[in-house]
Amino acid sequence: MSERPFIQINDLHHNYLRDTPLEVTALRGVNMEIYKGESVGIIGRTGAGKSTVVQHFNGLIRPREPGRVIVDGQDLSDPKVDVRRIRQKVGLVFQYPEQQLFERLVGDDVAFGPKKLGMEQTERRERVKWAMEMVGLDFETFKDRFTFSLSGGEMRKAALAGVMALHPEMLILDESTSGVDPRSRSELLGRLLALHKEHGLTLVFVSPNMEDMAELVDRIYVMDDGRAVMDGSTREIFSQPAELRQHGLGVPQVTEIAHTLIARGITVEQIPVTVEEGVKETWKILNS
Ligand SMILES: Nc1ncnc2c1ncn2[C@@H]1O[C@H](COP(=O)(O)OP(=O)(O)OP(=O)(O)O)[C@@H](O)[C@H]1O
Ligand SMILES: [Mg+2]
């Protein structure tokens, strides 16, 4: 881990529809730090502010005083900071992918970012091909398909391909794999994890699925009512089921089983958070 956080957020506040009768307070002083090469999860009940906070990570929403968002050493409150450069480094796949696709053809949509960067055609085509194959959209089959004719899951994949085509250093997925069938989903997540492990791609996952979090991230922030209310390693967070419940959340089912066994007086050496760990602990209990 490098000494300087890649993303640093201090005392971030955000209100939608500010100074109107419909004003909504979405963030009430959020602090977060994410380091290069980490895989971090953000969980929280609906409306907690997860999507609002991640939209600050790439300058889609600019911070408001006194809040600070510093990305790779650049303070996003400074109007001179070029957010296009930031967006190339920090890729965000929206919760609603249809908000992210705007070209008529899938291939053009995926090529949009590289084109904007002024990349020449041969390299652009390579990037697009790589990104589409990486998300599991066959290049020849999908490049000339109409974006609007894609299924929900395919749209999510296309939106992700558009972001990956920029070779970001950090990728944020805001519930971006829901609606993708389980098999292509696990293939996709497997490829992202491989990029994380082999090339140091920093990952941020926003997901309501605790099982996913346990498999994918090392560290978790829990948000509630516009604040980051808990943070710790995945295991630390999931060893506090009562606190999570107060924030409207649960733990992975395998962890729940372990907590129930402990409450019944059975010794569980290490609380499992993944199925694999659960199997290991079950063997230990059966053989004791
Ligand atoms: N464009 C908007 N206009 C007005 N209010 C908004 C807008 N987007 C979000 N909000 C409000 O801001 C608060 C935080 O919303 P946000 O989308 O960040 O929550 P979330 O944690 O991502 O929720 P979910 O799990 O449902 O995606 C909510 O009260 C929401 O209603
Ligand atoms: Mg959201």
Instruction: Parse the chain into domains and list their residue ranges.
Output: 7-251
Ligand 1 atom closest to the CA of 55, numbered from 1: 18
* Residue range 131-157: mean pLDDT, rounded: 94
212-232 average pLDDT score: 96
Q: What is the mean pLDDT of residues 149-172?
A: 94
230 by DSSP, 3-state: which?
strand
Distance (Å, whole) CA 214 – CA 243: 17
| pLDDT over threshold 60, residue 259 | yes
| Model pLDDT, residue 179 | 77
pLDDT of residue 2: 56
pLDDT of residue 117: 87
pTM for the structure as a whole: 0.94
Q: Which ligand has the shortest distance to the CA of 173? A: 2
Stretch 240-267: mean pLDDT: 94
**Is 249's pLDDT higher than 70?**
yes
The residue-averaged pLDDT of 229-243 equals: 95
For position 185, what pLDDT does the model report? 87
First-to-final CA distance of the chain: 39
DSSP per-residue string spanning 36-92: TT-EEEEEESTTSSHHHHHHHHTTSS---TT-EEEETTEETTSTTS-HHHHHHHEEE
For residue 119, give every residue at least 6 positions away whose Cβ sits within 8 Å of its Cβ, in sequence order, or none: 127
* Omega cis (within 30) before 66: yes
Number of other residues whose CB lies within 10 A of the CB of residue 22: 7
> Does the pLDDT value for residue 1 go beyond 60?
no
What was the pLDDT predicted at 209?
Answer: 86
Strands 219-224 and 227-233: antiparallel
User: What is the atom index within ligand 1 of the atom nearest the CA of 223?
Assistant: 21
Whether residue 40 has pLDDT greater than 90: yes
* Average model confidence (pLDDT) across the chain: 94
Q: What is the CATH number of domain 7-251?
A: 3.40.50.300
Q: Whole-angstrom Cα distance, residue 60 to residue 185?
A: 26
CA of 118 to the centre of ligand 2 (A): 32
- Ligand 1 centre to CA of 227 (Å) is 13
pLDDT attached to residue 98: 85
Question: How large is the average pLDDT for residues 165-169?
Answer: 96
Task: Kindly report, residue by residue over 48-86, the tens digit of the pLDDT.
Answer: 999 999 999 999 999 998 899 999 999 999 989 999 899
Q: How far apart are CA 199 and CA 30, in angstroms?
A: 29
Average pLDDT over residues 181-204: 92
User: Mean pLDDT throughout 157-179?
Assistant: 92
Enumerate residues lining ligand 1, CB below 6 A. Answer: 16-17, 24, 26, 44, 46-52, 95
Strand order in the sheet with 24-34: 24-34, 7-16, 68-71, 74-75
Burial class (CB within 10 angstroms; exposed 0-12, middle 13-18, buried 19+) of 221:
buried
Flag whether pLDDT at 136 surpasses 60.
yes
Q: What is the pLDDT of residue 288?
A: 84
Task: Flag whether pLDDT at 273 surpasses 90.
Answer: yes
How far, in Å, CA of 183 to CA of 207, rounded?
18
- Beta strand 90-93 pairing with 170-174: parallel
